[in-house]
A and B are shown apart, each in its own frame.
Chain A
Amino acid sequence: MSGVTEKKLAAQVSQGLNRRKFLQVSALGGAGFLIGCSESDTAAPSAPSAEAEAVATSPAPVETELNAFVKIQSDDTVTVVVKHLDKGQGVTTGLPAIVAEELDASWSQMRTEFAPADANRYANLAFGVVQGTGGSTSIANSWEQLRLAAAGARAMLVQAAAAQWGVAADTISVADGRLTSGDKSASFGELASAAAEQTPPEQPVLKDRSEFKLLGTNLPRLDSAGKTDGSTEFTIDVQRPGMLMAVVARPPRFGGKVASFDATEALAVPGVARVVEIPRGVAVLADSYFTANKARGMLDIQWNFDEAENRSTAELEADFKAMMDQPGLEARNDGDAEAALASAAQTIEQEFHFPFLAHATMEPMDCVVELGAESCDIWTASQIPTLDVGTTAAITGLDPANIKIHTRFAGGSFGRRAVPDSDFVAEAVMIAKAIDGESPVKLHWSREDDMTAGRYRPMAVHRVRAGLDEDGKISAWHHQVASLSILTGTAFAAMMTSELDPSVVEGTTDLPYAIPNIRVDGYQPQTGVPVLWWRSVGHTHNAYAVEVFFDQVARTMGRDPYELRREMLTDHPRHLAVLNKAAEEAGWGTDLGPGRGRGIAVHESFNSFVAEVIEVTMSESGDLSIDRVVCAVDCGFALTPDVVKAQMEGGIGYGLSSALREAITLTNGEVDQKNFDRYRPLRINEMPKVEVHIVNSGEPPTGVGEPGTPPSAPALANAIADATGRYISRLPIADQLKA
């Protein structure tokens, strides 16, 4: 038994969670029983599926809360309170897996429900006193917390059994959800209420990793059943009595305003209830989404674009480039890159261009609001629910204690549902307020709304220069990044320790290659286009510029791009291990035949390390086929390896999709792509075969939602260069292949 090391405890205390305090807080309310709370509106059960529910006729089980994260029902199900949003990344499997392990439960008895918005009990320990999901932190920040919660609950069950049976606690064994001592045996459900009367242990004993039975194995996802029979409830599916459907006509350019409007025709459409102006546009409320959407098209609105972003993409790009001729904000400065470049035997330079990208989640943004005189209930899928409570309080003037967020499963997010100003949640609350809460409101964005309402991955322009010395070694690297700050002016601006937003340059400042003179400069142009974190944030473009340019330099030097990476990563064993694994599994160096190419890229993001090798075929007419991706990932200890693999597969698909064809462009400030006919994500016929290899470094678990994405686009570009000799520096790639 390793217990908890002092170092880990210290880290936890510094993150604002004293363990003893945690258990005291957790135990609050733990003595009481929550009776028949299967209708609890914070619960979005992962299982059983609708089929199973339909045949369940037995009386509602009695639920006992052992602490903030663990509840046990009299029917032996164990419910884990999930403080993170499920957006497909698998938190409703990974988090209960941690609990099941330390509790010695059987996997089949595990269930989940989403936590209410409560920063005291359910803060993300990596964020401070904010409940949030993002930065691939769900497992990493929950790891110790849930182990302690589950080990504490287990100890309470053991103490209850010991008291009931009159035996010593150390004679009791726990396995598969049952406690046993000699001829005595009882299930969790039978002991739960007595366990709740026990004092939580001050120092729960944690298992040693060698004792794990469930963690590290392929556990079936708990959300598969509901997501394969149509029963999982997303926000779009929420129904409330008397609810009106709302759509909003927003200014077609960012920063535009309503000058005046005439709603006569819209109001004449049967089924339309109200048309109201809100700070973000004009809302139409009707008995049906179809009706509301139709009536919206009949509004006659005059817009004021005086303060709007009226530029087109080409003008923005020219402004970005002009900035880079000036001194930037220093992000890294080792040695003297300028002098080394000036004295270099050879210099290589490349400019990279990246467009705005939409998250384009399959479920467009939506939110249900029921506003009363003293309270507000909100059903939505938000990555930062406690922030939404604050926003709602500011809009309505209500006491935050009376604002409840009922978290629903998210139909994708990729960062889109973590908006510092609460975006669509705020919009829905504004509409509810504008009609004085007379009906519940479901705000429902059309695909066109979702595509054109902004919050994009920032556009970026990079300029990178490398110098080779007389011996043919890379002596200097100067990287300039011009991209939009996500944090400036938001509630998260405190995350900035200088004028430079770290998300602009992340993935360039920690360049791992052994180069004596490195300089990185950031530039933050101003535009009126709202931007946001997009699956792996700054790494999306920064990893591309770094890994494609490095490859280009290697080929210019006449070196094999993999061999040169190996040689220059000797001080970075985790990079090196995944790089070698991917290359080895892909058969690096073997002949692929004519028209084919192979590319490699390696990148660290969110404390995880991923390398990918991609194979492509280029036809004589220039058509690209992405044939195979070999991925190696080191995310520390992989709790649920199949979920890790799924996240790599998905992250790679997401990265390839954006690299291939995705771009949001503006014409006179108006977004050109309004639906999936012009914003065209990857489809099944384009999805390559993906092989994922997990490299176990033995480190504590880190995230997997984002780290699979950054290496995919550069590995693809490097494969195309291998086949064609041409490095593509302007995305999306498909436009360049046809150019």
Chain B
Amino acid sequence: MTIEFQFNGKTVRTDAPTDKPLLWVIREDLGATGTKFGCGIAQCGACTIHLDGSPTRSCVLPIAAVAGRSVTTVEGVDSKAAMAIRKAWRELDVVQCGYCQSGQMMSATALLEGNPSPSDDDIDNAMGGNLCRCATYHRIRAAIHQAAEDLSGETA
């Protein structure tokens, strides 16, 4: 069965088994490896992508559920919020090993797209599903605040 969906703005088709999780279609079949595997049970958030704009754990989402929908990964995300997040991540040198950061940035971008000035509690709620074993949390929080300020300055 061929499944068609939007991937980073382009139409793609796959004949992958319908129960194959989106993560593996992205990584193995589409060759976009920025989205990472961490746990396979939606506990760590390394595989976070945007599904029709919402942050989603791709490791447990069967490809059949993606038919006709729009998938955005770290390679394709280019909203104003995404750019502000990336800039803040670089300015504050958030990364350490970097493995979880695609997922972190996808969650953070979705947060800012829906909430331009998040509180610490909002950040905890939106980012609580993304583990970082390097414990860069402290800087992730600061970078989200900085990106939010950046965006508000831009629209002011």
Contacts and interface: CB of A to CB of B under 8 A. Distances in A.
B56 interface: no
Contacts of B123: 684
A411 B27 CA distance: 16
Contact of A683 (B73, B74, B128, B138): B128
Interface in B59-75: 73-75
Given A649-B138, A685-B124, A642 B93 contact: yes
Nearest to B129: A683
A270 B18 CA distance: 13
A113 to B, nearest CB: 17
Please classify the interface of chain A as helix (H, G, I), strand (E, B), loop, or mixed, using the class held by over half of its residues.
Answer: loop
A687 B140 CA distance: 11
B141 to A, nearest CB: 7
Given A224-B95, A225-B90, A684-B141, A447 B135 contact: no
Contact of A654 (B40, B99, B135): B135
Contact of B95 (A221, A363, A446): A221
A347 B105 CA distance: 54
Contacts of B46: 362
B138 A87 contact: no
Interface stretch (A226-234, A421-429, A582-590): A226-234
A88 B40 contact: no
A654 B138 CA distance: 12
B99 to A, nearest CB: 3
B39 interface: yes
Given A646-B139, A653-B137, A681-B133, A675 B39 contact: yes
Interface in B11-29: 17, 20-21, 24, 27-28
A239 B31 CA distance: 9
A227 B134 CA distance: 14
A512 interface: no
Nearest to A287: B28
Interface in A668-686: 675-677, 681-685
Interface in A330-371: 360-364
Given A221-B93, A289-B28, A654-B135, A411 B101 contact: no
Contacts of B86: 228-229
Please classify the interface of chain B as helix (H, G, I), strand (E, B), loop, or mixed, using the class held by over half of its residues.
Answer: loop
Nearest to A688: B138
Contact of B37 (A88, A236, A683): A236
A64 B94 CA distance: 33
A690 interface: yes
A649 B90 contact: no
Contacts of B134: 88, 362, 412, 650, 653-654
Nearest to B43: A676
Contact of B33 (A228, A237, A288, A677): A237
B1 interface: no
B84 to A, nearest CB: 12
A362 B44 contact: yes
A288 B139 CA distance: 36
A91 to B, nearest CB: 11
A89 interface: yes
B2 interface: no
B24 A230 contact: no
B131 to A, nearest CB: 6
A652 interface: yes
Contacts of B105: 228
B137 A654 contact: no
Contacts of B27: 237
B132 A227 contact: no
A291 B20 CA distance: 8
B146 interface: no
A647 B133 CA distance: 12
B135 A289 contact: no
Contact of A684 (B40, B102, B124, B133): B124
Contacts of B81: none
A536 interface: no
Contacts of B139: 646, 649
A229 B31 CA distance: 15
B96 A362 contact: no
Given A229-B75, A289-B28, A650 B136 contact: yes
A486 B37 CA distance: 30
Given A224-B95, A230-B35, A411-B36, A687 B135 contact: yes
A90 interface: yes
A414 to B, nearest CB: 7
Interface string A490-528: 000000000000000000000000000000000000000
B53 interface: no
B156 interface: no
Given A649-B139, A684-B124, A411 B96 contact: no
Contacts of B38: 362-364, 447, 676
Contacts of B131: 362, 676, 681, 683
Among A223, A245, A288, find the residue whose CB has the most chain B CB atoms closer than 10 A.
A288
A188 interface: no
Interface string B83-98: 0001001100111111
B39 A447 contact: yes
A105 to B, nearest CB: 20
B99 A362 contact: yes
A230 B95 contact: no
B20 A227 contact: no
B51 interface: no
Contacts of A689: 138
Nearest to A224: B90
Contact of B96 (A88, A226, A232, A681): A88
Contacts of B116: none
Given A232-B98, A290-B20, A684-B123, A650 B135 contact: yes
Contacts of A653: 134-135, 137-138
A239 B86 CA distance: 26
Contacts of A684: 123-124, 127-128, 130, 132, 137, 140-141
A409 B97 contact: yes
A657 interface: yes
A220 B34 contact: no
Contacts of B21: 290
A410 interface: yes
Interface string A205-247: 0000000000000001101111111111110110100000100
Nearest to B91: A220
Contacts of A229: 34, 74-75, 86
B90 A362 contact: no
A655 to B, nearest CB: 9
B90 A220 contact: yes
B99 A412 contact: yes
Contacts of B37: 236, 289, 364
B100 interface: yes
Contacts of B95: 88, 221, 223-224, 227-228
A364 B131 CA distance: 14
The 5 closest A-B pairs by CB, nearest first: A230-B34, A653-B135, A411-B99, A227-B98, A88-B97
21 contacts: A90-B96, A221-B93, A224-B90, A227-B95, A228-B105, A245-B28, A290-B28, A360-B133, A361-B99, A362-B132, A411-B99, A447-B40, A447-B41, A646-B139, A653-B138, A654-B133, A676-B131, A681-B133, A687-B137, A689-B138, A690-B138
Interface of B: 17, 20-21, 24, 27-28, 31-41, 43-44, 46, 73-75, 86, 89-90, 93-102, 105, 123-124, 127-128, 130-141
Interface of A: 50, 86-90, 220-221, 223-234, 236-237, 239, 245, 270, 288-291, 360-364, 409-414, 446-447, 642, 646, 649-650, 652-654, 657, 675-677, 681-685, 687, 689-690
Given A220-B90, A224-B93, A227-B95, 8 more contacts: A90-B96, A228-B95, A361-B99, A414-B133, A646-B139, A649-B135, A685-B124, A687-B135
